């Protein structure tokens, strides 16, 4: 089955700096790679996602890159702010057989990001 590795487990940056979180996956058939932000006691919130037919996607200060050959994908946050502090999870998903919607997500272990003012 799919296995997702995520690094680092903790990351501390100064406000305004960039933060990069990296993930690798094992199953080359995985085709969907979302990133979630989870604040304490709350559900994960999707912040950005990328599909296997795209190499990079950007949404304001957040970007994700995907290298299918190497089977790794990364989250990039620029101009970090204290409110970016949270736990970030990457995930990988194999395609569902019916309807094209996503199958179950396999999550990385998470990265606790702390942005110091």
Binding site for another protein (CB under 8 A): 34, 41-44, 46, 49, 51, 89, 93, 96, 98-110
Q: How far is the CB of 27 from another protein (least distance, A)?
A: 14
Q: Nearer Cβ to another protein, position 7 or 78?
A: 7
Q: How far is the CB of 100 from another protein (least distance, A)?
A: 4
Q: Nearer Cβ to another protein, position 38 or 78?
A: 38
Non-local (6+) Cβ contacts of 96 within 8 A are 102, 103
Q: Nearer Cβ to another protein, position 18 or 104?
A: 104
User: Which residue's structure tokens are 């994700």?
Assistant: 64
Q: How far is the CB of 107 from another protein (least distance, A)?
A: 5
Non-local (6+) Cβ contacts of 47 within 8 A are 35, 36, 37, 59, 62, 88
Q: Using alpha carbons only, what angle is made at residue 86 by residues 36 and 16, rounded to the nearest 5 degrees?
A: 105
């Amino acid at each position: 089955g799919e296995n997702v590795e995520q690094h680092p487990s903790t990351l501390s940056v100064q406000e305004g700096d960039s933060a990069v979180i990296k993930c690798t996956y094992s199953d080359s058939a995985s085709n969907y790679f979302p990133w979630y932000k989870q604040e304490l006691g709350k559900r994960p919130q999707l912040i950005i996602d990328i599909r296997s037919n795209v190499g990079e996607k950007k949404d304001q200060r957040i970007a994700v890159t995907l290298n299918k050959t190497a089977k790794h994908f990364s989250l990039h946050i620029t101009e970090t702010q204290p409110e970016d502090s949270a736990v970030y999870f990457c995930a990988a998903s194999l395609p569902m057989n019916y309807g094209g919607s996503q199958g179950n997500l396999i999550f990385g272990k998470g990265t606790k990001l702390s942005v110091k003012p």
